[in-house]
Chain A
Amino acid sequence: MTTVAFVLAVTDSVEGIVPASTSAGPSTLMLLLGIFILAIFIGVEIIAKIPPTLHTPLMSGSNAISGIALVGGVLAAGASGQAAMILGTLAVALATINVVGGFMVTHRMLGMFQKKKSPRGM
C-alpha cells in the first residue's frame, strides 16, 4: 500500500497544477506521463497475486473499468459540432455497453462463487 499512498500523494499534488481540458504544455505532459507510469506500477502491484479462480471476473471487471472512455465520450457527445456529437454518442453507447455489461456480468459471476461458500469462507 505504500506505493499507492505515494502515487496518490503525487496525483494529489498534480491536481492544482493540471486544470481539466486545457492545452497541454511540456510540463503537463511530464506530469501525466508520471501518473501513467505510476498507475501501471500500482496495477501490477495489486494484481500480481491473483488466484486463477478470479482470472475471468478480473477480466470482465477490468473490462468494465476500461469503459472509462465513457468520460471522453460524454465530453465529445455533449460538445457543439455535428461530427463530434455523432462520434461521441456512438462512443458513449459503446463504452456504456462495456461499463454496464462488464460490472453486471462480473457481479453475476461472483455470485456463483459465493453461493457455495464453505463455513471457513473462501
Chain B
Amino acid sequence: MSPNLVELGYLISAVLFILGLKGLTRPRTAVQGNLLGALGMFVAVVVTVLARTDLGLMPIAIGIAIGGVIGAAFAIRVQMTGMPEMVALFNGFGGAASVLVAGATLAIGQTTSDNELIATAATGLIGAITFSGSLIAWGKLKEIRALDKIEIPAHHLVNALLVLACLGMSWVVVSDPEYRNLAYWVVVAGALLLGISLVVQIGGADMPVVIALLNSYSGIAAAATGFVLSNTVLIIAGSLVGASGLILTRLMCVAMNRSLANVLFGKMGGGKAAPDADEVYVNVKSTSPEEVAMLLEVASRVVIVPGYGMAVAQAQHVVSDLRKALVERQIQVEFAIHPVAGRMPGHMNVLLAEADVPYESLVEMDHINPTMDTVDVTIVLGANDVVNPLARTDPDSPIAGMPIIDADKSRMVVVIKRSLSPGFAGIPNPLFAMDNSMMLYGDGRKAVQDILKALNEG
C-alpha cells in the first residue's frame, strides 16, 4: 500500500470515530454510533496490517486473540452495578497499552528526533499515571478497605517530588542516547507511583470525577503515542476521547459545585460548623412498609430519588416493579436523577434501564426541581448528600452550593436507609427530621419489596 493510501484509510477511520462519537450523544443514534466507532477501529487495524507487509503477524494474532477473549468475557459477564469498576479497569489498560507501545518503539530505536522523544516521555508519564491511578480507582470501587487507610505523609510534597523526578528523567530520555531506554522505564515507574499517590487520597463519592478524568487521560496518552509514531489516527482518536473525558469531568464537577483542583487535592468534610447529628435528628419519625403503601395508594404523583445505596442493595429491579404497580393504579411515577448519584457519570440511568424502567420516566435534576412542590410522595432510596437541604441553607457546610434534588419541598418524603449514618460528606441531613419526612429503616431491596407486598395486599 502506498503511504497516501494508508493515510486515506486512517482518515476514513478518523471520520468514523467522529461520526461514532457524535452518534453516541443522541439516544436515537447511539447504537449506530457505537457500531461506526467499532468499524473505524477495524479499518484502522486492517490498514495498519496491510500497510506493513514486513510485520510478523504471529505475535499480533496472539495478542488480539488473548485480548479479544478477555474483553468479550468482561463485556458479557459484567453486571450493570459493576460498570464503574469495568470502565476504571479499561481506562487503565488503555494507559498501559500506550506506555508499552512507546517503550517498544524506543527499544526498536525508531524514536530519534527530539519531538518524538518528548512525546515518548509524555506517553510514559501520562499512560503510567492513568494505569496505576485507574487500578487504585478500581480498588476503591471494589471497596477494598485497606486503600482508604493509606495516608501518605506530606502528600503534596511527595507528589511534587515525583513530578520533578519524572521530568528530570524525561530530560534524560530526550538527551542521552545511551541511557534512554532505562530512563524511560524510570519515568514510567515514577509515574506509576504518582498515579497511586494522586488517586489514593480521593474519596469514594468523588469517583465519578476521577473516572471521567482518567478516561480523558487514557485518550491523551493514546494521542501522545500518536506523536511518537507520527500517526494521525492515534492523534485524532486519542484527542476525541481526551475531549469527551474532559467534558464529563467538568459536568461532574459542576454537579458537585466543586473545582477540579478541589476534588483532586482538597479533602471533603471537616466543615467547621457541621451541626451535631443528635440535635438534628431529635424529631426523626420512623415508619412501616404498610404505612408507606397507604401513602402511595392515595398519591397522584410519586418521585423516586435513587442513589448509590440502590446499586449496593441491588434494588433496581424491585423498584422497577414498584413503579409498574403504581403506574397500574394511575399514579404518575418519575425518577429524579442527580448527575453524581452513583459511582460514575450516568450510573443510575444504566441501572434503571437494565431494570426496564422506561427512559421517559428518568428526569434530570434541573427539570424536576421546579415542580417538586406538586409531588405527593418522594421516596429517597439510598441517596443522602444529593438531597441534603444544607447545601442550600448552610454556607459553611462542605456541600454548600452543591445543586441538590429538592426532595424536602414535596408533600411527604420517605427515606429508605439502613440507619441515620451520614453520607460521604460526613454531615447530618436535616431532611430526615423534617415534619413531612419519615424514615423506613432497612435494606433497600427488602424495604421496597415489603412496600410492594403491602400495596398488593391492601
The answer to whether A48 touches B247 (Cβ under 8 A) is yes
Q: Is B66 an interface residue (CB 8 A)?
A: yes
> Is B30 in contact with A98, judged by CB distance below 8 angstroms?
no
A43→B25 contact, CB < 8 A:
no
Contact assessment for A62 and B241 in the assembled complex, using a CB-CB cutoff below 8 Å: yes
Q: Mark A1-41, 1 if CB is under 8 A from B, else 0.
A: 00010001001101110111111111011001001110111
Q: Are A102 and B244 in contact (CB under 8 A)?
A: no
> Which segment of B107-115, B151-159, B271-279 sits at the interface?
B107-115
Complex interface: chain A residues within 8 A of B57 (CB): 78
With A97-B93, A122-B359 known to touch, is A39 a contact of B240 (CB < 8 Å)?
A: yes
The answer to whether A98 and B21 touch across the interface, beta carbons within 8 angstroms, is: no
B287 at the interface (CB under 8 A from A): no
Quick check: is B38 within 8 A (CB to CB) of the other chain?
yes
Bitwise, B209-240 to A at CB < 8 A (1) or not (0) is 00110010011011101111111111111111
A/B pair count, beta carbons within 8 Å: 437
Are the CB atoms of A65 and B21 closer together than 8 Å?
yes
Task: List chain A residues, Cβ under 8 A from B22.
Answer: 46
The CA-CA distance from A21 to B162 in the complex, in Å, is 32
Contact with B along A56-75 (1 / 0, CB 8 A): 11111111111111111111
A15-B7, A62-B219, A91-B63 in contact; A71/B346 too (CB < 8 A)? no
Given contacts A8-B15, A65-B37, A88-B59, contact A58 B234 (CB under 8 A): no
Q: Which residues of A contact B90 (CB under 8 A)?
A: 60, 63, 97-98, 101-102
A121 to B11, CA, bound (A): 33
Interface of chain A residues 87 through 122 with chain B (CB within 8 A):
87-118, 121-122
Whether the Cβ atoms of B31 and A110 lie closer than 8 Å is yes
Binds A, one of B72-80, B294-302, B413-421: B72-80
- Tell me the minimal C-beta distance from A107 to chain B in angstroms: 6
Q: Encode contact with A along B340-380: 1 for CB under 8 Å, 0 otherwise.
A: 00001111011001101111101010000000000000000
The verdict on B266 contacting chain A, using a C-beta distance below 8 Å, is: no
Q: Which residues 79-93 of A have a CB within 8 angstroms of B?
A: 79-81, 83-85, 87-93
Q: State whether B231 touches A50 (Cβ < 8 A).
A: no
**CB < 8 Å: which of B228, B244, B350 contacts A56?**
B350
> B244: which of A25, A35, A62, A97 is its contact (CB, 8 Å)?
A62
Are A59 and B248 interface neighbours, CB within 8 A? yes
Residue from the list A54, A66, A75 in contact with B48, Cβ < 8 A: A75
A22 to B45, Cβ gap below 8 A?
Answer: no
Asked if B444 is at the interface (CB within 8 A of a chain A CB), the reply is no
- A-chain residues with CB within 8 Å of residue B35 when the two chains form the complex: 107
Asked if residues A47 and B247 are in contact (CB atoms below 8 Å), the reply is: yes
| Bound CA–CA A118/B15 (angstroms) | 31
What is the interface residue range for chain A against chain B?
35 or more
Least CB separation from B362: chain A residue: A53
Chain B min CB distance to A25 (Å): 7
Q: Give B41 Cβ to nearest chain A Cβ, in Å.
A: 6
- Assess the A92–B4 pair: CB atoms within 8 A: no
* A121 CA to B57 CA, complexed, in Å: 45
A62 touches B215 (CB 8 A): yes
Distance, CA A3 to CA B301, complexed state (A):
45
Check: B97 CB closer than 8 A to any chain A CB: yes
Decide if A68 touches B230 in the complex (CB within 8 Å): no
- A68 to B104, alpha carbons, bound, how many Å? 16
Q: Check B235 against A36 for contact (C-beta < 8 Å).
A: yes
The answer to whether A96 touches B235 (Cβ under 8 A) is no
Within the complex, the shortest CB–CB distance from B240 to chain A, in Å, comes to: 4
Knowing A11-B14, A62-B21, A104-B72, the reply to whether A93 touches B66 (Cβ < 8 A) is yes
Which residues of chain A are within 8 angstroms of B72 by Cβ–Cβ distance?
100-101, 104
Q: Which 7 A-B pairs have the closest CB atoms?
A: A96-B67, A43-B243, A78-B55, A55-B346, A92-B63, A101-B71, A100-B71
Q: Can you report 25 residue pairs joining A to B where beta carbons are below 8 Å apart?
A: A18-B230, A18-B232, A28-B230, A37-B239, A46-B22, A52-B349, A58-B25, A61-B34, A62-B245, A63-B87, A65-B17, A66-B218, A68-B237, A68-B238, A72-B105, A72-B225, A73-B60, A87-B101, A100-B72, A101-B70, A101-B72, A101-B86, A104-B72, A104-B76, A118-B358
Known: A76-B104, A94-B67. 18 other contacts (CB 8 A): A8-B11, A12-B11, A47-B244, A51-B25, A55-B345, A56-B347, A62-B245, A66-B218, A66-B238, A75-B105, A77-B55, A78-B56, A79-B110, A91-B100, A92-B59, A99-B71, A105-B75, A118-B359
